[in-house]
Structure 1
Amino acid sequence: MLDWEHIFATRSNRMRASEIRELLKLLDRPDIISFAGGIPDPALFPDAEFKDAYAEIFSGPAVSAALQYSVSEGYKPLREWLAKQMADLGIPAGADNIFITSGSQQGLDYLGKLFLSPNDTALVTWPTYLGALQAFNAYEPTYDQLNPNGNRTPEAYRQAAGEAGGRVKFAYLSADFANPTGETVDRAGRERVLTLAEELDIAVIEDAAYQSLRYDGEPVPPILALEIAKKGDINNTRTIYCGSFSKTLAPGLRVGWVCASEKVIRKLVLLKQAADLHSSTINQMAICTVAERGFDEQVAKIHRVYKQRRNAMLAALEKYMPEGVSWTKPEGGMFVWVTLPKGMDGAALLAKSIETAKVAFVPGRAFFADGSGENTLRVSFSCANDQMIDEGIRRLGDLIRGEVAALAA
C-alpha cells in the first residue's frame, strides 16, 4: 500500500482537524443543545434581499460579467463601498487599499504565506482564534504570546525569536469581541501593540470579523485608524485590517476583505492570482447590492437579537454556575469565555456533557498555541434562543457542580 506520509510536505504534519468544525456536526442532533458553533443564525440572513439581487443580475446585462473571469483585486463597486465604510471607522482609504478575499479566512492564509518563513515567530494572544492558528501553521512558524496589557520588552521577543531560528514577523489579534473570549482590547492596549510593532518593525494583523457586532459601550477606534491618525496616510502604515461579511450578511457567499497599504495589497493580489485567480464575481456583486441597499438595517436587526441572547446567557451563567467558575462579559460578538476551577479539563467535561447533559461547547485548549488552557471553554449564544440558553446552561452548571464536588472529595 502506498505510504503517503513520506511524500507529503513537512508542513502537513502541523495540519489538524478543527475541533469546532467537528462539533458543528452536533447541530444536526435534535437531542443536543449546542453552544459550540460560533456561526450566525440563518433565520437572520437577508435571504429575500439576496434573492432579489441575484434575480437582477441574471435578468440584466451584468450577467455576462458576473459569470466571467474578473480582476484579482475584486469587484470595484464593492471595493469602493468598502472604502466608504472604512472612512466611517476613521480609516481613510481608496479602492486600491481594498482587496477582496474568499472569506476572511483566506486573508489570514495569504498573510501567513506572505510573511512567515519556517521558524519565524508570529505573536498571538493566549488564547486566540483557532482558524488563525490553522492558517498560520502551514507556514511552520513559532508562536509567542502577545499580551496587549503586558510590558514584555521588544528585545525579549527578538531574543526568543532568534533562539527559535527566525524573526518576529507580525502580531495578530482580534481587538473587538474576540473569538474565543468575547473580550475587547482597550485603546491603551491597541496603542501598546502599535508601539511594540514599531520597535520590532513587524506587521500588525487586525482581525475585525466581529467589529460590527457591538451591543453596549463606546466604540474603540480600530488599530489601523489609530495608526493612520499618527502617520497621516494608510500607505505609510503597518497594520493590516481583515474584515468579513460572514457575521453580518451571509457566511456561505465567502466574501471578506483586507484593507491595508497599497504595497501589501499588491503582494496579496499576486498570491490570489496564483491561488484561485479571483473570488466569485457574482457573489461579490450580490453582496455589494445588498450592502448598498440595507447594510445598516441588517446590522441593527442582528444587534437586537444577539444582544438579547447575550443577556440571556450572562443571566443564566450568573444563575446556574457554581462558585469557582468565572466568565467574560462581552460588549458584543458571539462568545462568552468560561474559566473552570483548576484541575478540571474542558475536553473531558465535553465528553461527559455530550453523554449526560446533552450540551455541546468548545474546549478551550484548542485556542492556545502552546496547548494550555485545559480548564477553559467557549460557549456561543448566536444560534440559541432564550429557552435553550437557560436550559443548556442549567444542565451545564449542574454537571460542573458535580465535577467540582468530585475534585474536592
Structure 2
Amino acid sequence: MLSWEQVFATRASRMKASEIRELLKLLERPDIISFAGGIPDPALFPKDAFAQAYAEVLSGPDAAAGLQYSVSEGYPPLREWLVGQLAKLAIPCTIDNVFIVSGSQQGLDYLGKLFLSPKDTALVTRPTYLGALQAFNAYEPTYDELNLGGNRTPDAYRATAAQAGGRVKFAYLSADFANPTGETLDRAGREKLLYLAAELDIPVIEDAAYQSLRYEGEAIPPIMALDIARCGDIDASRTIYCGSFSKTLAPGLRVGFIVAAAPIIRKLVLMKQAADLHSSTINQMAIAHVAGGIFDAQVAKIRAVYRERRDAMLDALARHMPEGVRWTHPEGGMFIWITLPAGMNGAALLARAIETEKVAFVPGQAFHADGGGANTLRVSFSCADPATIAEGISRLGRVISLERLAA
C-alpha cells in the first residue's frame, strides 16, 4: 500500500484544516447560537435580481457565450463596470488593470504563488485573516509581524527575513474593518505602510473584502488610492487591490477581482490559464447584470441591517461581559474581536460554551501566524437578529464569568 505522506510535496505539510470551515457546520444545528461564521446573511441576497439576470442571459443573444469558454482576464463588461466603481474610490485605471478571479480567496492564492519562494517572508498583521495564511502557507514562507504602531526600521525587517533564509516579499493586510478584528487602519497608518513598502521595495496586498460595509465615520481612501496619488499612475503603483462581490451580492457565485499594475495582471492571467482557464462566464455575466442595476441599493440595504446588528452586539457586550474582558468597536464589516483576561484559553472556552450554553464563536489563536493569541476570540454579528445576539452574548458572558471563577 502506497505511503502517501512520502510522496506529498513538502508544502502539503503546511496545509491545515480551517477552524472556521469546521465551525460553520454548527450553523446547521438549530440549538446552537453561532457567532462563528463570518458569512453574509442569505436572507439579504438579491435572489430575484439574480433570477432575472440568469433568465435574461440564457434567453438572449449572449446565451451561448455565457455557457462557453471565455477569456482568462474576465468578462469585459464586468471589468468595465469595476473601472467605473474604482474611479469613485480615486483609483483611476483601465480594463487592463482589472482581473477576475474565482473569489478573492483564489486571488490570494495566486499572489502567494506569484511572490513567495520557500523561506521568503510575508509581513502580516497580528492577528490576520486566516484564509490569507492558508493561501500563503502552501508556498512555504515565514511570517513577520507588520506592526505600524511601533518604531521598527526597514533594516530590522530585512535582517529578520535574511535570518529566516529569504527576503521580504510583500506586506498583506485588510485596511477596512479587518477580519478578524473589525479594526480600520487610519490614514497615517496607510501612509506609513506605503513608506515602509517603498523602503523595502515590496508590494502591498490590500484586501478590501469589506470596504463597502461602512456604518459610521468618514471613509478613508484605499491604500491604492493614496499610492496612485503619490506615484501618478496605477502602472507605477506597488499596491495590489483585492475585492469581492461575496459580501455585497452573493458569495456562492465565487466572483472576486484583483486590481494592479498591468505587468502583475499579465502574470496572473498566465496562472489563471494554467489553473482553471477562466472564472465562470455565466456567473460573471449575472454579476454584471445585477451590479449594474442595483449595486448601490443593495449595499445601502445590507449596511442598514448589519449596522443594527453591530449596535445590538456592542450593547450586549457592554451589558454582559465580566470585568477584564475587552473588545473592538468596528465602524463597519462583520466582526468584533474579544480579548479575554490573561491565562484564559479561547479554544477551551469554546468547548465549554457549546456544551453548557449552546453558543459558538471562533477561537482567536488560528488568526495568529506565530501561534499566539490564545486568550482571544472572534464573534460575527452578520447572521443573527438583535434578539438572538442579545441572548447569545448573555450566554457567552455567563460561560466567561464561570471560567474566570474556576481559574
Range class of TM-score, shorter chain: over 0.9
Deviation by residue 1:69-105 (Cα, 9 ceiling, x = unmatched):
0000000000000011111001001110000000000
Where does residue 398 of structure 1 map in the other structure? Answer: 398
Please give the secondary structure, in 2, of the residue aligned with 1:175: coil
Distance 1:358 1:3 in 2: 41
Distance 1:268 1:69 in 2: 18
Where does residue 37 of structure 1 map in the other structure? Answer: 37
Where does residue 240 of structure 1 map in the other structure? Answer: 240
> Structure 2 unaligned runs (5+)?
none
Residues 21-60 of structure 1: pairs in structure 2 closer than 5 A: 21-60=21-60
One-letter identity of the residue aligned with 1:245: F
Q: Does 1:201 align with 2:197?
A: no
Where does residue 283 of structure 1 map in the other structure? Answer: 283
Deviation at 1:405, TM superposition (A): 1.5
> Structure 1 unaligned runs (5+)?
none
Where does residue 70 of structure 1 map in the other structure? Answer: 70
One-letter identity of the residue aligned with 2:6: H
Deviation by residue 1:314-362 (Cα, 9 ceiling, x = unmatched):
0000000000000000000000000000000000000001101100000
Please give the secondary structure, in 2, of the residue aligned with 1:377: strand
Where does residue 109 of structure 1 map in the other structure? Answer: 109
Where does residue 191 of structure 1 map in the other structure? Answer: 191
Deviation at 1:30, TM superposition (A): 0.6
Where does residue 5 of structure 1 map in the other structure? Answer: 5
Deviation at 1:234, TM superposition (A): 0.3
TM-score scaled by length of structure 2: 1.00
Distance 1:19 1:204 in 2: 27
Distance 2:364 2:60 in 1: 49
Distance 1:204 1:152 in 2: 17
Deviation at 1:2, TM superposition (A): 2.0
Where does residue 311 of structure 1 map in the other structure? Answer: 311
Instruction: Choose 304-313 or 144-153, whichever is displaced more.
Output: 144-153
Please give the secondary structure, in 1, of the residue aligned with 2:377: strand
Would you say the 8 A contact 1:149–1:192 is kept in 2? no
Distance 2:342 2:242 in 1: 35
Please give the secondary structure, in 2, of the residue aligned with 1:57: helix
Please give the secondary structure, in 2, of the residue aligned with 1:182: coil
Where does residue 221 of structure 1 map in the other structure? Answer: 221
Deviation at 1:195, TM superposition (A): 0.4
Distance 1:62 1:280 in 2: 14
Distance 1:156 1:47 in 2: 51
Where does residue 354 of structure 1 map in the other structure? Answer: 354
Deviation at 1:131, TM superposition (A): 0.1
- The percent of aligned pairs where both chains have the same amino acid is 74
Deviation at 1:194, TM superposition (A): 0.5
Paired positions, count: 407
Would you say the 8 A contact 1:245–1:251 is kept in 2? yes
Where does residue 120 of structure 2 map in the other structure? Answer: 120
Please give the secondary structure, in 1, of the residue aligned with 2:249: coil
One-letter identity of the residue aligned with 2:162: G
Which consecutive segments of 4 or more residues in structure 1 shift more than 4 A?
none
Distance 2:33 2:371 in 1: 27
Where does residue 371 of structure 1 map in the other structure? Answer: 371
Deviation by residue 1:212-235 (Cα, 9 ceiling, x = unmatched):
000000000000000000111000
Residues 169-180 of structure 1: pairs in structure 2 closer than 5 A: 169-180=169-180
Distance 2:35 2:299 in 1: 22
Q: CA RMSD in A?
A: 0.5
One-letter identity of the residue aligned with 1:155: D
Where does residue 99 of structure 1 map in the other structure? Answer: 99
Please give the secondary structure, in 1, of the residue aligned with 2:148: coil
Distance 1:42 1:148 in 2: 36
One-letter identity of the residue aligned with 1:231: C
Please give the secondary structure, in 2, of the residue aligned with 1:171: strand
TM-score scaled by length of structure 1: 0.99
